Amino acid sequence: MKLHVTNKKKTTFLIAGIVLLLVIIIVVVSLMRKGKAASTDTVAEEAYQTTPLEKQDVTKEIGLSGTLDSAHSESVSSTLEGVKVKEVCVQVGDTVNEGDVLFRFDSSEIEQKLEAAKKALANEQAANAAEIASNERNYADAQTTQNVESGRSDQSVNQAADAYNAAVSSKATAESAYQSAVSDRKSQEKAVKKAKEAAANAKKDEKSAKKSLEEAQKSGDEQAIASAQAAYDAAASQKKQADKSLESAQATLASLKAAEAERQSQVTSAGDVVNSASSSLQQAQNDRDDSNRSNAKSVADSKDTLDNARRSSSADSQSGQDVKSYEEQLEQCTVKAASSGVITTVSAKVGDTYNNGVLATIQDEKNYVVTAMVDQYDISDITKDMKALIKTDTTGEEEMNGTVTFVSPVPASMAASSDNSDSSSGSSGNGYEIRITVDNPSERLRIGMTAKVTLIQEEVKNVFAVPDDCISEDEDGNSAIQILENGEPRSITVTTGLKTDYYTEISSDELAEGMNVIIPDVTEMDDMSGMDDSVSYSVY
């Protein structure tokens, strides 16, 4: 029984051992396969060095080193010469404001000259005032004479005009009377003509009646004679009456002719009066015009004389110019600051005789510019109003903003001297000078410090950018990058933008943050298997 049981246990243990061995073999094989797969992936990943794709600000910039100068420097001087320095009110390091007194010169000699010039000017002004008063009287007299004579001349012209108008009226009356006389004469001439005709007819009738009477007398017929005699007597009476009428008409005509001649003589006389009155009127008008012209000239001449006297009085005479000059010199004996800042040089002392030159230098210690020299390779990329970032050793990592305010068009060796030629940079040579105004200067800045300047040529913000080496050209000639996706490289076509010395802006609808961008290495890797192009990659 025991033997039987023992054999059975051995069989069970043997089967269990075989099963366990198989399990171990399966596990080992599985682990070996996983290890191999992991080893393969590791090799694939290690074959590519990548950098994550991120959005960032891309800036194209130029780095320079320059010297801090004062934004404004004033050389204090005076136009006076040969004056002694009486007082020096400042020393190097003093802070002054615009209008502060810096120096005083000895003004005693100038004050004496000014007093003498003022006296000379007072005498000159008194003489001018007397001359002006005299000329004002002459001008007033000329105006009075003009007004009086103008009134008289106008009165004479008016009287002559009245006489002329009366003469014209009289002539018109005489001409009217003459025309009436002419009309009466002509009417009477017609009456005389009719009277002559009547007298001729009456004479004819008388002659005929006389003939009839003679014939009746020859016939001896008493009755015929009596009738013919009566007819003859009537005709003779009629003739006598006609002759009287003709005589009367002729007398009247003669009288009218005499009256007409008288009227014509009156018209001629009236015409002579009109001509005389017209001449008198013309003469009065001419006399008035001559008087007005003469008086107007007298008034204008006296006015010109008065104006000249006034101008001469108000003009800067030599005495007046002397007073003004000495007053200006007296004012210049007190030398004041034209701007605020710190005194950096003082070149005069009490007792010195000043003959032009710089007395002191004031520099603005609150506003600064950086003066830098740029070589010919970069100067064409720098323009006025370009923005800048400025650092100094004394301000550490603090960045100050700046703006390019001057770019020299010629090298320093060719540039002419200017008001800023005494800047502390002392730069020279073939470089081009530029100046950057510091927009927000630190209180720690001092004139003459060295400044590091970064000029911002171009800038884009929040864009995808990769190292320049990550961008290649695909088969179609387009720009592309390689990304590692599931252990395999994949090409993405991109559009490039701003390019700097290290980064290039890229854009594409396929780009997403976090992508692993492959960074190529120019070193070939012949020992990498499974790759058509033996190119290694390095970590950026």
pLDDT at 34: 47
Per the CB < 8 A criterion, the answer to whether 62 and 382 are in contact is yes
Residues 273 and 124 reside in one and the same domain: yes
pLDDT at 356: 86
pLDDT digit string, tens, across residues 157-211: 999 999 999 999 999 999 999 999 999 999 999 999 999 999 999 999 999 989 9
Tell me whether residue 352 is in a domain: yes
> In whole angstroms, what is the distance from residue 456 CA to residue 391 CA?
14
Mean pLDDT (the chain, rounded): 84
Per the CB < 8 A criterion, the answer to whether 412 and 428 are in contact is yes
Tell me whether residue 328 is in a domain: no
Nearest alpha-carbon partner for 458 in 503, 494, 495: 503
pLDDT at 457: 85
pLDDT at 530: 37
- What one-character-per-residue DSSP string does 339-384 give? S-EEEEEE---TTPEEESS--EEEE-SSSEEEEEEE-TTTGGG--T
Residues 90 and 162 reside in one and the same domain: no
Tell me whether residue 354 is in a domain: yes
pLDDT digit string, tens, across residues 108-117: 998 998 899 8
CATH of the domain at 432: 2.40.30.170
- State which residues form the domain around 427: 50-69+367-537
- Which residue shows structure tokens 């002509």? 186
Residues 88 and 2 reside in one and the same domain: no
pLDDT digit string, tens, across residues 318-360: 888 888 988 998 999 999 999 888 999 999 999 999 998 999 9
Indicate the angle between helix axes 318-332 and 108-219, nearest 10 degrees: 140
CATH of the domain at 253: 1.10.287
Tell me whether residue 327 is in a domain: no
Residues 298 and 403 reside in one and the same domain: no
pLDDT digit string, tens, across residues 99-146: 999 999 999 998 998 899 889 888 988 888 999 999 999 999 999 999
pLDDT digit string, tens, across residues 232-258: 899 899 989 989 998 998 999 899 999
Per-residue pLDDT at 36 exceeds 50: no
CATH of the domain at 101: 2.40.50.100
Structure-model confidence comparison of residues 16 and 168, the more confident one: 168
Per-residue pLDDT at 32 exceeds 90: no
Q: Which of 171-175, 234-238, 295-299, 523-527 has the lowest mean pLDDT?
A: 523-527
Tokens of 46: 């290690």
Residues 283 and 140 reside in one and the same domain: yes
Number of residues that this document lists for the chain: 540
Tell me whether residue 344 is in a domain: yes
Per-residue pLDDT at 428 exceeds 50: no
pLDDT digit string, tens, across residues 379-394: 999 999 999 999 999 9
> In whole angstroms, what is the distance from residue 431 CA to residue 385 CA?
20
Which three-class secondary structure state does DSSP give residue 483? strand
Per-residue pLDDT at 81 exceeds 80: yes
Nearest alpha-carbon partner for 504 in 461, 472, 466, 469: 466
Per the CB < 8 A criterion, the answer to whether 434 and 45 are in contact is no
pLDDT at 437: 95
